[in-house]
Structure 1
Amino acid sequence: MNSFHNFVTGRPMQLAMREWRIMGKWRAPLSAVAFGALLGVTGPFGSQATLGPAVRYPFWMVIALVGFGAAAVAERVLPSASPNRRSAARIIAIAAASAVPMTFFVAWAMGVVRPGRTFSPVQLLGLFPYVALVQLLIARILSPNDPPSPAAPVVAALGSVEQPAAAAYPAEFMAKLPAALRRDILALEAEDHYVRVHTRHGSALVLMRLADAAAIIDPRLGLRVHRSWWVAKDGVRALERTPGRTIARLADDTAVPISRTYLPAARTFWTD
């Protein structure tokens, strides 16, 4: 029992979770390569007959890579009305949104591999459902998996249940901050491909996506309140209603907007 407990709560499990997150960063490009190769083999939508292998494989590889990029952009831009980011409605929305620019890209790519091939507006409309079908498969592959859930409490020999560990920020996240800013975190703010970490003692930029940071931080420590903001539970002084919106007033007097998507969860989180 002790050895099992040490595995669940000790360093081996932490290392396994870290490896899981590292592999997740490579999932999209590796999936794009594999998906493009599969499309090259199957040759869908008549490409098996019209394109030779030397053209068909690179063609579908490029289509898959650009398609994954378009779906990734749509996934970040489209708001999520539900905590379940793998819902069917959201995957369909991502596929439809990314299929619009991809239809024009596919039409252009077809003109490259088959010189003289052009698409009229009506033909573009006919091409859209096929592109949307491919983007639907890509969106399903790209949809984030739920991170590994913490191990269930271990039942000791006498039948008692071990209390869950206190919430703490991940060591790999805190290591990215200057030593003086590794405490009293108030909020995280998205800035392009960076996250600005606001603390009571100043702020610093960390190279990572806000969604990735929020995913590895214990949910007991804070809450995503906006596409660009994650706020610490102890960092909020009050929720304030202003004309047309609600804001979280931080301990340093910063006003953080709360979007309608996250407002019900925010009210529950800071009133419990």
Structure 2
Amino acid sequence: MRERLARLSLRLGPPIGVGLVLGIIGPFGTFDLLPAVPRLAYWLAVISVNWLLADVVLRRLDEVADERLPMPWLTVPLMGACFAAVPATGVVALANGISGIGWPDEVVVLFGRVLLLLAAISLPVYTWEDMQERIAAMPESAPPESASSVAQPEEMEARQARTVGQSLFAARLSAPLGGQLLCLEMQDHYLKVHHSAGSEMILCRMEDAVRELSSLGHRVHRSWWVAADAVDGVERDGQRILLRLADDRRVPVGRSYRRDLKAAGWL
């Protein structure tokens, strides 16, 4: 329960914070058009709904187009803001009509304002999340060879930790795996566990699952982890690199993960 509450606070904290700030300063004329309490409610509702829209669009775009776009750290959030601005403009127009501000006379102007706001939010948020993903993907440094005799107890502790981690992950499942573990697919705050006998959705962060299953495979993409014994081959599609799994599934390999996968002999 505590873990769920912590994730919920991390999920809702940023949009609520941004909504409160905008509600206080009242940009785009809302300071003069709305009293304090309705203005706060207006911005909290608009930011929360559009934040969710932008998050869904960015995650999908990052999964589908990350490897095909130059400078994805810039192009993914900007393109995501452009796509999300279309439904977000409708949300703002509806909020304006309900709040009493009035239905927009110039939809193009409203779209430009929404796009500017989404881009200003998407760029830092995407950059922060990308940095966190890169840090989580960094391998732990190996101890020097001269300390091998001292490292033996540490190696035993590491093996025990891996065993405990795998047990923790198994406990997240509703039942023991019905077949070979293939890969994990991130879907928002859930993970879809793919195995040879089917799939199961669990509530788990990708970072936690990667840590618990560190000895069984590698994270290959922001949204994917793959078991080592599930890889059947490597394919290329232009600049994209795909792993072919035992069930004939193709999993994309992210740019930031390629160096570690090459070092591991996967590529």
Class of the TM-score when normalised by the shorter of the 2 chains: 0.5 to 0.7
Q: Distance in 2 between matches of 1:31 and 1:212?
A: 20
% identical equivalent positions: 22
Q: Distance in 1 between matches of 2:58 and 2:187?
A: 17
How do residues 89-238 of structure 1 correspond to structure 2 at under 5 angstroms? 89-114=75-100, 117-120=102-105, 123-140=106-123, 142-143=125-126, 144=129, 145-146=132-133, 147=135, 152=141, 162=151, 165=158, 168=162, 171-177=167-173, 180-181=176-177, 184-188=180-184, 195-199=192-196, 202-203=197-198, 205-208=200-203, 216=211, 218=214, 221-224=217-220, 230-238=225-233
Q: Is the 8 A contact 2:173 2:202 kept in 1?
A: no
When residues 170 and 99 of structure 1 are mapped into structure 2, their CA distance, relative to the original with a 3 A threshold, is farther
Residue matched to 1:31: 14
Under a length normalisation based on structure 1, what TM-score does the superposition of the two structures give? 0.66
Q: Is the 8 A contact 1:107 1:118 kept in 2?
A: yes
How do residues 26-105 of structure 1 correspond to structure 2 at under 5 angstroms? 26-78=9-61, 79=64, 80-81=66-67, 87-105=73-91
Q: Shift of residue 42 of structure 1? A: 0.8
When residues 101 and 43 of structure 1 are mapped into structure 2, their CA distance, relative to the original with a 3 A threshold, is same
Q: Is the 8 A contact 1:226 1:257 kept in 2?
A: no
Q: Distance in 2 between matches of 1:91 and 1:21?
A: 27
CA deviations on 1:30-51 (whole Å, 9 max, x unpaired) are 1111111111111111111111
Q: Distance in 1 between matches of 2:254 and 2:34?
A: 46
Q: Shift of residue 246 of structure 1? A: 6.6
Structure 1 residue matching 2:244: 3-state secondary structure: strand
Structure 2 residue matching 1:118: 3-state secondary structure: coil
Q: Distance in 2 between matches of 1:108 and 1:24?
A: 30
When residues 205 and 119 of structure 1 are mapped into structure 2, their CA distance, relative to the original with a 3 A threshold, is same
Q: What amino acid maps onto 1:198 in structure 2?
A: H
Q: What amino acid maps onto 2:93 in structure 1?
A: A
Structure 2 residue matching 1:54: 3-state secondary structure: helix
Give the aligned length: 242
Q: What amino acid maps onto 2:89 in structure 1?
A: T
Q: CA RMSD in A?
A: 4.6
Q: Is the 8 A contact 2:50 2:91 kept in 1?
A: no
When residues 231 and 109 of structure 1 are mapped into structure 2, their CA distance, relative to the original with a 3 A threshold, is same
2:249 is aligned with 1:256: yes
Q: What amino acid maps onto 2:40 in structure 1?
A: Y
Q: What amino acid maps onto 1:256 in structure 2?
A: R
Residue matched to 1:14: none
Q: Is the 8 A contact 1:247 1:255 kept in 2?
A: no
Q: Distance in 1 between matches of 2:90 and 2:250?
A: 36
Under a length normalisation based on structure 2, what TM-score does the superposition of the two structures give? 0.68
When residues 170 and 44 of structure 1 are mapped into structure 2, their CA distance, relative to the original with a 3 A threshold, is farther
Q: Distance in 1 between matches of 2:166 and 2:19?
A: 36
CA deviations on 1:168-199 (whole Å, 9 max, x unpaired) are 45554232136643995222356895513305
Q: Distance in 1 between matches of 2:13 and 2:166?
A: 27
Q: Is the 8 A contact 1:223 1:233 kept in 2?
A: no
Structure 2 residue matching 1:207: 3-state secondary structure: strand
